[in-house]
């Protein structure tokens, strides 16, 4: 797979946006999973860049964090984070972006895109909960109580905001491309 300079820059830019929004973090006293804007950033990435470039952006973000650059929540990084209790939530992010981006690539239906946002979030929850349970020795039920239940409402609000922002930016980008092409003709 060969990427153009513009595509590389876009993927890197969105990886940086995810890293920045991951630092907007509120540690909660009853769980080891912080409340961040990471889900919002990943959803917007999928909505704007689509499945291929959105997933590449998230993989760049995970690679940067995996090699130790502090791009994960609360300025953390390293393989230990990816393999630790909350690592599954991070490892589920490429799936989320791919699902959202694929829906955006294939359909303009608000229902299809909304369902993809929910499916992507469920994928992140599933990967994260299973890894949290495996690493900590908690049951799945306990892991859901600690790591999913406190975040469901806030994450749905983030998805709604991501849909609004992603749709608006996508429309602006496509209308600017159409305007630029007609201006050049």
Residue 179 — very low, low, confident or very high, per pLDDT cuts 50/70/90?
A: very low
pLDDT digits over 146-158, tens only? 999 999 999 999 9
> What's the distance, CA 25 to chain centroid?
15
DSSP letter, residue 34: P
- Region 56-75 average pLDDT: 97
| 36, two tokens | 């961040």
Mean pLDDT, the chain, whole residue set: 92
Q: How many C-beta atoms surround the C-beta of residue 26 within 10 A?
A: 11
Can you give the pLDDT at residue 171? 83
Whole-number Å distance between alpha carbons of 170 and 156: 21
| CA gap 152, 59 in Å, rounded | 24
Q: Which residue has the tokens 């799936």?
A: 95
The pair of structure tokens assigned to 105 is 């690539």
pTM of the model: 0.90
Q: What is the DSSP string of 158-180?
A: HHHHHHHHHHHHHHHHHHHHHHH
Tell me, what's the pLDDT at 119?
98
Q: What pLDDT, in 10s, does the model give residues 2-19?
A: 888 999 999 999 999 999
């Amino acid at each position: 797979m060969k990427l153009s300079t513009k595509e590389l820059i876009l993927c890197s830019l969105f990886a940086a946006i995810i890293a920045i929004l991951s630092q907007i973090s509120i540690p909660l006293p009853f769980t080891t999973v912080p409340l961040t804007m990471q889900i919002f950033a990943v959803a917007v990435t999928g909505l704007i860049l689509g499945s291929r470039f959105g997933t590449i952006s998230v993989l760049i973000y995970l690679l940067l964090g995996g090699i130790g650059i502090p791009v994960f929540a609360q300025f953390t990084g390293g393989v230990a984070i990816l393999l630790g209790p909350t690592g599954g939530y991070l490892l589920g992010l490429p799936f989320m972006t791919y699902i959202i981006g694929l829906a955006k690539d294939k359909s303009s239906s608000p229902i299809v895109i909304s369902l993809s946002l929910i499916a992507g979030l469920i994928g992140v929850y599933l990967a994260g909960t299973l890894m949290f349970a495996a690493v900590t020795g908690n049951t799945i039920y306990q892991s859901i109580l600690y790591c999913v239940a406190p975040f469901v409402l806030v994450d749905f609000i983030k998805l709604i905001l991501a849909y609004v922002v992603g749709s608006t930016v996508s429309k602006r980008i496509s209308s600017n491309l159409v305007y630029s092409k007609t201006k050049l003709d």
